[in-house]
């Protein structure tokens, strides 16, 4: 049973090899209740691999994965998502040919399969409102601007009302206003729905402002873990990734 203080997600020594390439090695981190955790690192650092490992789309070569207190090291992605861990994909994480409303509907199917059309539609409309997608519900997802498409992909995942929402670069291609709104949405999700968020992002300002803790990856290894302040002042992180500019 999941105790009050148990983490939602815990990795222990998580490692993944592709032939001779060590994509990620020895990851030890956890995502706690009501937390927004950031996962940062340069391109090729292993962020996507990590995402695929924790969501079951890839099997680890070594190490252990616990999701909501259960050992999920070799569990299929369907089972992990049904437990409450839902992730988005970095590119095209939506159905191009379908309307926004039918995209968001996908997220409701499993949880509300017995509930009937009205309940599912209500969940779709609620989710759209939270993400500011209400005006676009009847547009075909493929015809919308990039920023809106990113919101659609978040909406699909959030419509499943997960306990842990894993977002892969949700802010790419958004302008400053859109970023600010989306960050507010993240905080609303955490506050009003008791959902934790694991965020892979390149937008450092956004990450520093919204995350409670940050994990830094570099060449597949965990370079540092801590609060934004700690990470900003971590020498290794600065030399490897951030540069002096963020060290204030």
Partner 1 sequence: MDRLRIPWWLAGGASAIAATVLIQDAYTTSIINLIAIAALTAASLRFVMLIGEVSFATAAFVGLGAYSAGVATTILDWPFAVALLVGPVLVTAVSIVFGVITLRIKGPYFTLIGFAFTEAVRILFSKTEFIGGTSGMIGIFPPPAIDAWLSTIVMAVVVACVFALYAIEKSDFGKVLVAIRDNENIATSVGINVLFCKVACFAIASFCAGVVGSLHAFANNVISPGDFSFLLAAFALAYVKVGGESSILGAVFGAIILVLLDSYALGLGAGENLFYGGAIVLAVLLMPNGLIGLVTSASRRLARARAGNGPTLNRKTA
Q: Is 94 in the site for partner 1 (CB under 8 A)?
A: yes
Distance, CA of 198 to CA of 35 (rounded, Å): 8
Footprint of partner 1 on residues 181-240 (CB under 8 A)?
none
Q: Is 144 in the site for partner 1 (CB under 8 A)?
A: no
Please identify, using beta-carbon distances, which residue of 54 and 217 lies nearer to partner 1: 54
Distance, CA of 87 to CA of 163 (rounded, Å): 11
Q: Per the structure block, which two tokens stand in for 43?
A: 């391109």
Residues of 147-179 as b/e, b for ≥16 C-beta within 10 angstroms? Answer: bbbbbbbbbbbbbbbbbbbbbbbbbeebeeebb
Q: How far is the CB of 56 from partner 1 (least distance, A)?
A: 9
With beta carbons less than 8 A apart as the criterion, state whether 29 and 46 touch: no
Please identify, using beta-carbon distances, which residue of 98 and 238 lies nearer to partner 1: 98
Q: Is 148 in the site for partner 1 (CB under 8 A)?
A: no
What is the distance in angstroms between the CA of the first residue and the CA of the last residue of the chain?
42
Given 24, 53, 130, 157, the residue binding partner 1 (CB under 8 A): 157
Q: Is 125 in the site for partner 1 (CB under 8 A)?
A: no
Q: Which residues bind partner 1 (CB under 8 A)?
A: 55, 57, 77-78, 81-82, 86-89, 92-98, 102-103, 105-107, 109-111, 117, 120-121, 156-157, 159-160
């Amino acid at each position: 049973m999941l105790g009050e203080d148990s983490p939602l997600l815990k990795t222990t020594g998580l490692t993944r090899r592709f032939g001779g390439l060590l994509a990620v090695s020895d990851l030890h981190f956890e995502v706690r209740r009501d937390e927004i955790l950031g996962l940062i690192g340069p391109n090729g650092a292993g962020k996507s691999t990590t995402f695929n490992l924790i969501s079951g789309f890839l099997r680890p070569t070594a190490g252990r994965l616990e999701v909501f207190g259960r050992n999920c090291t070799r569990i299929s992605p369907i089972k992990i998502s049904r437990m409450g861990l839902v992730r988005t994909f970095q590119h095209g994480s939506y159905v191009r040919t379908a309307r926004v409303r039918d995209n968001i509907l996908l997220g409701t199917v499993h949880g509300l399969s017995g509930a009937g059309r009205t309940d599912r539609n209500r969940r779709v409309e609620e989710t759209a409102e939270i993400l500011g997608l209400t005006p676009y519900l009847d547009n075909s997802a493929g015809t919308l601007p990039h920023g809106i498409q990113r919101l659609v992909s978040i909406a699909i995942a959030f419509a499943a009302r997960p306990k842990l929402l894993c977002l892969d670069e949700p802010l790419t291609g958004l302008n400053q206003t859109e970023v600010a709104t989306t960050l507010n949405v993240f905080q609303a999700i955490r506050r009003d729905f008791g959902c934790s968020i694991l965020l892979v992002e390149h937008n450092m300002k956004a990450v520093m402002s919204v995350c409670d803790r940050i994990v830094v990856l570099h060449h597949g290894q965990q370079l540092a873990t801590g609060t934004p302040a700690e990470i900003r002042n971590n020498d290794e992180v600065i030399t490897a990734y951030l540069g002096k500019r963020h060290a204030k």
